[in-house]
Structure 1
């Protein structure tokens, strides 16, 4: 049964992951965001409980 022979499929799997890790990942990681993140204020706002009559 030819589908049990892992030789060609394993090589395709290894080469595709090799290409993915060496080409695609650095291209994605080189993107920069236009807006830098700024930390929000640490002041805790007071929330009022709901006063809905059930």
Structure 2
């Protein structure tokens, strides 16, 4: 059964993870969002809910 032979697939998996970790991750971590992050303070505007029943 050739699918159980880890010889070519193990190297493909290792090279894929190395490319992901060494090349793609630093590029995605340097990305800056275009919009500023706004933190809303919703806790200050809380009012109790009066149920009609």
- TM-score normalised over the length of structure 2: 0.69
**Deviating 4+ runs (over 4 angstroms):** 37-41
Taking the aligned partners of 1:47 and 1:38, their CA distance within structure 2 comes to 19
Query: Counterparts of 2:49 and 2:25 in 1: how far apart (Å)?
Result: 48
Provide the TM-score with structure 1 as the length reference: 0.68
Gaps of 5+ in 2: none
In terms of fraction of residues, the more helix-rich structure is 2
Instruction: Report the structure number with the largest CA radius of gyration.
Output: 1
RMSD: 2.2
Correspondence 1:29-44 to 2 at 5 A = 29-34=29-34, 35=36, 37=37
* Number of residue pairs matched by the alignment: 51
